[in-house]
Structure 1
Amino acid sequence: MATNFFNTPPRGLKTPIVPIELAEAAAASLLAFDAGLALMQKLQRAEASLDPSGFDTALLGFEAEVADTHAQAYEALEAFYYSDKGALWHLSDAAWVMLLLLESDGLDLYPIAQRSAGLRHAAAACARSPLPLENASASRLLATAEVVDLMIEAAIDDYAVIDPDNVDDLRGLVGRGLAAAIEQTQTKHSAPYIDPCLDWDFGPS
């Protein structure tokens, strides 16, 4: 009878072999996550075509595309987040961060930037993992962090058009959030840093 475990170095810890059913569920979940991520990337490109001042009438047609893509991305990511993800909990965190960004009013970019830095740290750890499911998550975590960072930077640029006198404060706040998250993960190799002074619900509505 075949064993249901294999030894993982360096201490010979027993790691369960993924059953066929779980592997199939994980494969389906990977496809579902990829669909949500692709919609976020499409949304980022569509938003880049907008005029934040609203004065360029030639670009007004992109607003409907942005609204539709935003709704589609939220629906896909929310469905993934609440589904049976086949033990892909790293990707659950990634979907959560994207949902936070989709719900953002622009005032909470600081903690979202911290979470994005945490995804990059998790991606590096998953890339070194001997477990297939974690290894498969690495590139997806990195792609999530990249699109989130692009959208945060675009949001700051849009804010600069609306309120140029105060944009440096926002940019500095986000920058300090990233620096704190990177320092925290490098020194403690733990979960992304969360400011204890923040009092808000991280979960999607």
Structure 2
Amino acid sequence: MLFWSRFEEEDEDFVVPTMDSYATWLEEKAAAGEGGFGTRTDAKLLRKSRELRLHRLELTHAVVHQCESAPETLVVIPPVSLHRWRRTDDSIDYVEASLLPDGGRGNSLVRLQQGISGYADRFMDVDGTELNEEAQRFAFLDSQGMPEDELDAIARRIKPLAAADDRHPYPSAAEARGCVVPLVPSDLRRLAEYGQLFSSDDVWKQLRPVLYTYWN
């Protein structure tokens, strides 16, 4: 997906995939019983957002990779959330940034401790397993400095969200602290597969929520 524009320049037969082609792919995945929960819903939301003209962004806008300023930074946005999770600056943003001591127009990346809108209370293990609500409680109270013995008790109540999975994987807060991370939206996993973003199927587990500000 990162090379679609280059492919378009080098191959006259190559056509950059659109939101509509991605929605069609999602529908086909759902019809085949693949893609996981929400696949068909995402396709419907994409179709509806185009119909209502909620935004004019294309599928390529779901991946931000500014090589000239931060080559190590790759930001991936769920296509169904593009109109809410991505915005461009206006004159007020520009003036406010200009008043900052450093001129304000430098790039910045802030790692968030919880997911963005719609995913703020959802967490997973680093192996990709979604966790119950105790994980969110643990993450919040840990950030507030709760005593370790009380956090230990909460950590022991964390388990996979799936009812059939009865494991309690964290015997202590120290164990949970290294494993409980914000949930990666399933739509990002589907986009990564469709756009062949990563060299391995497990790379999506390393994605973390960030607030990325960049100027170009």
Q: Which has the higher strand share?
A: 2
TM-score (norm 1): 0.25
TM-score (norm 2): 0.24
Q: Which has the higher helix share?
A: 1
